[in-house]
Each structure stands twice: as structure tokens, then as C-alpha cells.
């Protein structure tokens, strides 16, 4: 695991965007595994900037996102589809038909999950998977559990995640209670993983996830077993590790 220290959020975003940009340049038809949350917003903004400048071409890229809320339509401004469209898809030349997320509107969880597993398999898996880190160590929406789930599954979100995501909704009652998420097994199959972390409030979980025991109670700890992980974190997020 390679840990890159960034000065602050902007520096983290630039460094992470540089890694993604180099992936797109080296392999123009790559599969990018993408993430939502507030942490990667700055990374996407840099990619859009470099695309506008003519430095990046997404026309042959395929994207597979980590997760989607169950029950939210693409038009709902809190859906992860909406987020991706707003921050990246509508601003670069990626082909809309090559951008994939689990289908939040599919009420049959088994179907939604098996469809998404098939989409990921057909795309050939991610060349580079971008990840944020939840305060409880979740990646995608893989919440602390007794086992690491391998494939796409439907999760009941924990109280702490519902509370953390409340800020994006009008009230806590509107926060969906379930989501479809790629499994830890699928995430671990990505050829390369890039984790972005920012802020002092993540310092404790950074220490636990990347320097503590490997346990499904801290889903991100599985990343310690992957052979090609880069963590780009700002100084605040790294403040509890040397």
C-alpha cells in the first residue's frame, strides 16, 4: 500500500486526478471504477478542467460506479447517478451508454445485483477503482459486517451512515435505508485501487483501516491485502499516523 501525503484537500484532489488522468492516457479504453461522496468532488473537477483544456479524452472509457441508493430514480438529485452526471459525465466526452451504476429503481434486489455483476464482468472489471472512505470504514456501501461480501448486494445502511448522509437530504426520513453496492470481492479485483481521504474527522478511521487488523468490521481494511493500492490523503487525515 502506497500512502501519498497531500497538503490539503485541493492538493489531494490534484494528485488523485493526476493518477486517474495517467490511467486514461495510458489506456484510453480503460474501465474506471468511480465513487461518490464529497471527497472525490475536487478530483472530478480537475479531470473536467483538464478535459476542457484538451488534455484528456474519455471517448473510449467505460465507467462502473460503486453503488446507488435503492429506490431513487436517476432524476432524483440525491441519486448517485445524478451526482455522477453533475460532476463528471455531463462535462466530459464519456459515452452515456458506457457509464454504469446499479439500477436503484429495480425493486427486485436479486435482479438488480445480478444485472450489475454481469455488467461489471462484461466490462472486464475495473482497471482503476477510485474509493472514498466512510467514517466507519465503509467502502462503497460495504458497511461493517461479520463477513466481507464478495459481489454486488443490497445493504441496510447503518444508523451512522444514514446520519452522515442526512446533510444531503431535506430531512433524515428522506435518506434511503438501503443501497445496492459492489462487493468487497469485486473492489479487490480491480487492477489498481486509488483511495482519497481528507479531513481530521477521517484520521481515526485511516489509522484503523490501513494500519489496524484486517476485519470485515472495518471493510476498508481488506485493501491491505491488495497488491496495488494508492491512498492519497491530506495531512489532516494522516495526522494520527506517522
Strands 128-131 and 153-156: unpaired
Question: Annotated catalytic, 165?
Answer: no
* Residue 161 touches ligand GLP, criterion: CB under 6 A: yes
Residue nearest to ligand GLP (CB): 132
* Residue of 12, 67, 70, 152 that binds ligand GLP (CB under 6 A): 67
The 3-state DSSP class for residue 100 equals strand
Binding span for ligand GLP by CB under 6 A among 12-20, 25-33, 35-43, 85-93: 35-43
The answer to whether 37 and 68 are in contact (CB under 8 A) is no
Alpha-carbon distance of 136 to 109, in angstroms, equals: 24
Between residues 95 and 168, which has the closer beta carbon with respect to ligand GLP?
168
Question: DSSP string covering 35-99, please?
Answer: --SSTTHHHHHHHHHHHHTTS---TT-EEEESEEETT--TTSTTSHHHHHHHHTGGGS---GGGE
* Residue 141 touches ligand GLP, criterion: CB under 6 A: yes
Q: How far is the CB of 113 from ligand GLP (least distance, A)?
A: 16
The answer to whether 139 and 220 are in contact (CB under 8 A) is yes
Question: Annotated catalytic, 135?
Answer: no
The 3-state DSSP class for residue 135 equals coil
Between residues 20 and 66, which has the closer beta carbon with respect to ligand GLP?
66
* Residue of 35, 72, 128, 229 that binds ligand GLP (CB under 6 A): 35
How many residues touch ligand GLP under the rule CB under 6 A: the total is 14
For the annotated catalytic residues, the residue numbers are: 67, 136, 138, 143
Q: Which residues bind ligand GLP (CB under 6 A)?
A: 35-39, 66-67, 132-134, 140-141, 161, 165
Amino acid at each position: 500500500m502506497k500512502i501519498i501525503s497531500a497538503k490539503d484537500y485541493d492538493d489531494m484532489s490534484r494528485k488523485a486526478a493526476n493518477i486517474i488522468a495517467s490511467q486514461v492516457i495510458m489506456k484510453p479504453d480503460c474501465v474506471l471504477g468511480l465513487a461518490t461522496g464529497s471527497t472525490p468532488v475536487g478530483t472530478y473537477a480537475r479531470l473536467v478542467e483538464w478535459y476542457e483544456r484538451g488534455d484528456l479524452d474519455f471517448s473510449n472509457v467505460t465507467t462502473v460506479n460503486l453503488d446507488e441508493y435503492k429506490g431513487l430514480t436517476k432524476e432524483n438529485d440525491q441519486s448517485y447517478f445524478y451526482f455522477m452526471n453533475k460532476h463528471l459525465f455531463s462535462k466530459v466526452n464519456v459515452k452515456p451508454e458506457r457509464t454504469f451504476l446499479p439500477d436503484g429503481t429495480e425493486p427486485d434486489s436479486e435482479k438488480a445485483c445480478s444485472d450489475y455483476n454481469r455488467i461489471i464482468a462484461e466490462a472486464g472489471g475495473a482497471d482503476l477503482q477510485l474509493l472514498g472512505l466512510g467514517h466507519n470504514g465503509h467502502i462503497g456501501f460495504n458497511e461493517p459486517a461479520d463477513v466481507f461480501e464478495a459481489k454486488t448486494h443490497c445493504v441496510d445502511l447503518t444508523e451512522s451512515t444514514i446520519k452522515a448522509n442526512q446533510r444531503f437530504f431535506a430531512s433524515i426520513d428522506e435518506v434511503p435505508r438501503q443501497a445496492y453496492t459492489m462487493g468487497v470481492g469485486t473492489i479487490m479485483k480491480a487492477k489498481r485501487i486509488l483511495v482519497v481521504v481528507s479531513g481530521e474527522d477521517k484520521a481515526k478511521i485511516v489509522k484503523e483501516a490501513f494500519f489496524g487488523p484486517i476485519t470485515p468490521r472495518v471493510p476498508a481494511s481488506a485493501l491491505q491485502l491488495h497488491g496495488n493500492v494508492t491512498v492519497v490523503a491530506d495531512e489532516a487525515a494522516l495526522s494520527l499516523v506517522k
